[in-house]
Amino acid sequence: MSSVRKKLIAGNWKMNTNRSSAIQLASHVVASSVGSDNANLLICVPAIHLADVSKLVANSKVVLGAQDGHWLESGAFTGELSMSMLKDYQVEYVLVGHSERREMFADDNQRVALKFEAALKNGLTPILCIGETLQQREQSETLNVLISQCEAVVEQVGIQAFENACVAYEPIWAIGTGKTASPEQAQEVHNELRAWFEKQDSTIAAGLQILYGGSMNAGNAKELLSQADIDGGLIGGASLKADDFLDIYSAAG
What's the min distance (Å) between Cβ of 178 and ligand 13P? 8
Identify the CA nearest to 64 among candidates 89, 33, 83, 37.
Answer: 89
Contact status: 175 vs ligand 13P (CB under 6 A):
yes
What's the min distance (Å) between Cβ of 237 and ligand 13P? 3
Closer by beta carbon to ligand 13P, 109 or else 220: 220
How far CA 111 is from CA of 74, 99, 114, 156, 201, in Å, comes to 16, 13, 5, 10, 24
Residue closest to ligand 13P when measured from CB atoms: 236
Closer by beta carbon to ligand 13P, 170 or else 231: 170
Contact status: 12 vs ligand 13P (CB under 6 A):
yes
Cα gap 53→166, rounded to integer Å: 22
Name which position in 213, 221, 244, 246 contacts ligand 13P (CB under 6 A): 213
Cα gap 173→12, rounded to integer Å: 17
Phi–psi pair at 135, nearest 5 degrees: -60, -45
Alpha-helix runs per DSSP H in the chain: 19-32, 50-57, 83-87, 99-104, 109-121, 134-138, 142-157, 183-200, 202-207, 221-225, 242-251
Contact status: 176 vs ligand 13P (CB under 6 A):
yes
Contact status: 170 vs ligand 13P (CB under 6 A):
yes
Cα gap 217→77, rounded to integer Å: 36
Q: Segment near ligand 13P (CB under 6 A), from 82-90, 147-155, 170-178, 221-229?
A: 170-178
Closer by beta carbon to ligand 13P, 50 or else 224: 224
- Contact residues toward ligand 13P (CB under 6 A) are 12, 98, 170, 175-176, 213-216, 234-238
